[in-house]
Each structure stands twice: as structure tokens, then as C-alpha cells.
Amino acid sequence: MIKRLLIANRGEIAVRIIRTCRELGIKTVAVYSTADQDCLHVRLADKAVCIGLPPSPQSYLNRDNLLMAAINTNSDAIHPGVGFLSESAAFARLVRDNGLIFIGPNPDVIDLLGDKVQARKTAHEFGLPITPGTAAIADSDAACKAALDMGFPIIIKAASGGGGKGMRIVRSESELAENFTLATAEAEANFSDRRVYIERFLENPRHVELQLLADGNGKVAVLGERDCSVQKRHQKLIEESPSPGVTAEMRERMSESAIRLFRELKYQGAGTIEFLVEGDAFYFMEVNARVQVEHPVSELITNTDIIREQILACTEARLELDPAAVRVSGWAIECRINALTPGRITRLEVPGGPGVRFDSFLYAGYTMPPYYDSMVAKLIVHAPSRERALRRMERALSELCIEGIKTNQQEQQYIIEEKVFRSGSFGNAYYTQTFGVP
């Protein structure tokens, strides 16, 4: 077992990792920008190191500063968390080349999966169904030709993308040139990679993902699926597990294909395979070669500490859980609480009671900086059935009180009570259809 781990991230996910490390007896090192010196993860870690100024390229995306912080604190491993450098093969190689353990898959595997164009090709080679699409597109003329051959609507996606960045839906030839320019510019700004590709756009599919854990030696566990169809501008708002739109037969087919891919790749650690589901058909979308923000719903329905299993897989090439023994129990729902404004938290009251979990880095008196992702908390509930989980979430949202900043809490309350969402019959166009927001 490693003795000290540096967390190359901030906020809620850093707090989450620290808590599991403490149970494993692993010392933790937090890193922070000058804007984050009062963040909760800095307070909870055994050591903390300032790595730069607030802009991410000068701190959380600065590979050299992160590596030096790990070396100077005698850390054995680096956990990248989510976002930032969590899917950077170059960072993973830098970590390994300097004798440290990277809590994630092999850099060569990240290369295969981090590039969305290559990931589609790899998935197709291993028999996973994919939507019609292209390789990387060089310019708007080539994009136009490909789109006309494929037929509208299409979606432009960043080859190195994630989190909805660098994505543009195009419904006609007249819209293509402008959206191609915007997508490439956004891809360059967010990922330092202008490359984009095109896929056939499915109008209202479900967005379903499978949570997997693997030890790199052929042992692969599937912890059920999550439905992430409620999205605002491609950003997930609510996740639940199981998915109300996936049958047992489809779940088995999806799991078999996911296990086959992870075994062939000798995947190590936690990962997620995302699918678009239309009727009884599913199409590979991408692999997230890291732990996901929404991992708590999978933890609750399978009684598993995914961070613990991820660390053991990457440091000792083993899983504690038995893939054959994984059982899904009940229903879990997660609401992402996003800040709409920065500011000082003047009051924080956290809901409790049976089956309620609150993952956050907020505390009364903390001042939210304006520089980073807007998600400040995750409210998660677990209950024996979907209906009871929805009622529990209604109750938990009504108890949650965050004052001093504006959040999307009221919007989440509306969705949880809305009749179409309650019915379970919706796809990823739900938010647009409900609120009229493109």
C-alpha cells in the first residue's frame, strides 16, 4: 500500500478522495491555487502545497508544478480526480517517468480513449456499435461535404472534448460554416486541440453510461448503468441509477460489450463507457478514462467505494470486490448543485436522514472564487424504488439551504417534481423541451 498520495485537483472531488485515503491509512497532499487557499480540501489534507495563480494553466493544469509538489512532499502516487489533467496521457507519462504511480489507466490506453476519433475507431474494432461519423475534419469545406453525404442533422464534436465543450448541433448546410468555426475555436480554448469530427445527430436519445472497475489483468466489474439524459447545454444536471429506459436484456448486451473492450485494452482503474440509447439500440459514444462526477449513484446502488477500488487497482493491480458478486439494490438519484454567482457562503444547512448524501466543499464563511467549474455540491439519495427515491430527493432539496450565492437548487426542485421526468420517459432533449432552452 502506498503511504502518501497527492491529489492533483480541487474542491469536492479532492475532499472525496481525501476521505477514502484516510480510511485506507494513506496520507494526503492537497494542492491549491492562491484563490483556493481556504478551500475545504486544503483544510482536510495532511499537507497542502500552493501550485500557482488562479488561472488553471498556471496551477491545476501546470504539470511541472504538480509533479514538483509530489516529489517535494515524498508522495508515492498522484490522483488526478476529474477534469483538469485527469485524462492527459502526457501527464500520466510524466508521473510514471518520475517513478510515481498515476491513479488511472496506462498512458497508452488514455491515448486510445482520450482522442474521441481514435476511441470510436477502437470501439468499432472490438465490436461496439457506433453512430455514423467521420475522422478528424480539417476545414469547413470538408465538414460540409461529409455532412451532405451523411445527411442533416449532424453534431460537431471536439476530438479531445468533454463536458459539452466544442460541441455544436447543425441542422442545415447554411448553419455549418459558422458552427464549425465556433466549435474549433472552443476546442482550441478548452483542450489546446482544434481538431473536430462529425457524427450523425440523434434527436432525443437517452444518455446512458456504464460504471466499470478493472485491475488490468482481466478482472472487470460492471456496477450497473447511470442515466444522464437530463442535461443543460450538454452539461449533466441529474443522474440516476438504474436507468428507467434500459431493459435487462439491453443491460446485459451493453455490459458484455463494455467488459470485452476493457479486457482487450487491459484497462486499469475506474472508467465509464457512455452510450446513446434509441429504442432497443445503443451506440458507443466515448470512454471517460477516470472516475466520473456522478460516481456516487453507482456507489449507493452497489454498496461500493469506487475511489477505494480505483486506488487498489492502480497501486496493487487488484480489486477487493468480486465482479460476479456485484448486486444492484434500490434506486439512486443525484442532483448537481451549481453556483450561478460567486460570493461568500453566509449560511449552509445540509439535509440528512436515511439514504441522503451530500458531497461538497462548501462551509459557512467560505468565499466562492469565480475561476473554476460552477458545481459546488452533489445531493444524492438512495431508496428501495424510483418513486421513493424521488420523494426522498424532494425532501432533501427542501431541507438544503445555501445562502450568500445563487444556485440552481430551485430548478432542480422543479425538475424532480415535473410530470415527464417523474414518468421516466424522456431523452437528452428533455431540458430543451421542458424549458425551451437550446
Residue 33's closest CA among 17, 9, 64, 5?
A: 9
3-class secondary-structure state, position 234:
coil
Looking up cell 491545476, which residue turns up?
60
Q: Please, which residues bridge with residue 269 across strands? A: 214
Q: Would you state the cell numbers that stand for residue 101, as one nine-digit string?
A: 504511480
3-class secondary-structure state, position 425:
coil
Instruction: Report which residue type is found at 115.
Output: D
Q: Are 129 and 135 in contact (CB under 8 A)?
A: no
Distance CA 299, CA 302 (A): 5
Residue 95 CB neighbours (<10 A):
27
Mention every residue, 6+ apart, whose C-beta is less than 8 A from residue 40. Answer: 11, 15, 360, 361, 362, 363, 366
Does 347 participate in catalysis according to the annotation?
no
Mention every residue, 6+ apart, whose C-beta is less than 8 A from residue 86. Answer: 9, 80, 104, 289, 290
Of the candidates 10, 206, 290, 336, the residue annotated as catalytic is: 290
The 10 Å CB-count burial string (b at 16+, else e) for 347-379 is ebebbeeebbbbbbbbeeebebbebbbbbbbbb
Q: Please, which residues bridge with residue 209 across strands? A: 226, 274
Residues labelled catalytic: 290
